[in-house]
Amino acid sequence: MSGWQGLLKEYAAWFDLAGVDEVVTLQEGNTPLLRADRLSERLGAHVWLKFEGVNPTGSFKDRGMTMAITKAKAHGATKVICGSTGNTSAAAAAYAAKAGLECVVLVPEGKIALGKLAQAMVYGATVLQIRGNFDQALDLARELTQHLPITIVNSINPDRIEGQKTGAFEIVDVLGRAPDILAIPVGNAGNITAYWRGFLQYYEAHRSTSLPRMWGFQAAGAAPIVLGHPVANPETIASAIRIGNPASWVPALEVVHESHGDIRAVTDDDILDAYRYVARYESVFCEPASAASVAGVLKFGVPEGATVVCVLTGNGLKDPDTALSSSARPPVVDATLEALMSELGG
Ligand code: AN7
């Protein structure tokens, strides 16, 4: 049999799968790397979009979750938990369901995109909306693991980072080289850490001859790494990255240092402009947090002729509220030819 069977089989040689008899997969990964013609022209560079929104639950979290749930099951877990701004909860709920494990998700009440809440509910997780923000949800999830027999599947679980490094592998496999710049949204900073590990491992194995500069972008209202201190009440329209105290803060600083990269802030207006631009001109409907990567390269520019990959971490369909509120409301017209002709300037 041939064809794509998911990341753990495709990249098995790059993982420690000791003790794993059964892989829990939804055939995640193998996502498109799209050449962005308009962005390339606008930036004077070769720009590519790694569209993670076509993963089984619509975000990059599936890469980490296939590994985290596979390992949790192999180690005999029956129950998993996460705190989440939405995408982790959707992925955890789906992979737990596939594995026959129970799943508990803690989400900040009223602050996760509608589609993500719907996903966690429909996949059958126990969803608890807490009166607090993501950082509190994650702290509580960690604390609960001290009191209940439950495995945490946030990116503080090292299996998550291992799975997510495959995004970098796929980029090099398609381009035949590492990009000069990897632009990526930063929330908890797990993904920037994972991508760097992937690029490093390929480099050390001579699969690529260079390493990218890692450029991370936080939302200005939730930019603790840029500011150098935790943010008690993070605020941004990009609810996925509404995070004030990233779990992988220290590793992310190491990534920036080792790759000669940077982590900078983009405003909600920058994010929404980029969100609309990639939909309108590159035909990719990503979610607002994902657009932070494109917002960053548009805001700060890139070296002429550079090869740049922007990671678009999640699917725009998850957040219909932002899609509708950031576009003009479609007019309602009478069901007559005259009304349509007059509307269309005929
Ligand atoms: C679309 O789901 O933290 O820097 O709980 O959903 O690895 O945290 C989501 C994060 C970027 C940031 N883009 O990645 C969660 C959660 C999207 C995201 C990020 C998230 P990290």
Residue 308's CATH number: 3.40.50.1100
CA of 292 from ligand 1 middle (Å) equals: 11
User: What's the mean pLDDT in 206-223?
Assistant: 98
- Ligand 1 atom 12, closest CA: 187
The ligand 1 atom nearest the CA atom of 83:
5
Query: Could you tell me how far CA 199 lies from the centroid of its own chain?
Result: 17
Please report whether residue 225 resides in a domain: yes
- In the chain, where do the E strands start and end? 33-35, 46-51, 79-83, 102-108, 126-130, 151-152, 181-185, 213-219, 262-266, 307-312
Q: In whole numbers, what is the pLDDT of the chain averaged over residues? A: 97
DSSP for residue 314: B
- Ligand 1 site residues (CB inside 6 A) read 59, 84-88, 155, 185-191, 240-241, 287, 289-290, 313-314
Residues 52 and 72 in one domain: no
The ligand 1 atom nearest the CA atom of 252:
4
- Ligand 1 atom 18, closest CA: 240
Residues 51 and 74 in one domain: no
Q: Which range marks the domain in which residue 221 is found?
A: 7-59+160-325
Residues 283 and 175 in one domain: yes
Please report whether residue 185 resides in a domain: yes
CA of 246 from ligand 1 middle (Å) equals: 10
CA of 215 from ligand 1 middle (Å) equals: 16
Residues 169 and 295 in one domain: yes
Residues 33 and 125 in one domain: no
Give the three-state DSSP class for 128: strand
Please report whether residue 112 resides in a domain: yes
Residues 164 and 304 in one domain: yes
Q: pLDDT band for position 3 (50/70/90)?
A: confident
Please report whether residue 339 resides in a domain: no
Choosing from 101, 121, 156, the residue where a domain stops is 156
Residues 77 and 93 in one domain: yes
Q: Is the dihedral of CA 40, 282, 214, 54 positive or negative?
A: negative
Q: pLDDT band for position 1 (50/70/90)?
A: low
Total domains in the fold of the chain: 2
User: What's the mean pLDDT in 154-183?
Assistant: 98
Pocket test for ligand 1, best of 61, 95, 136, 192 (most atoms within 8 A of CB): 61
Give residue 2's pLDDT: 65
pLDDT tens-digit series, residues 235-263: 999 999 999 999 999 999 999 999 999 99
Please report whether residue 336 resides in a domain: no
The ligand 1 atom nearest the CA atom of 52:
1
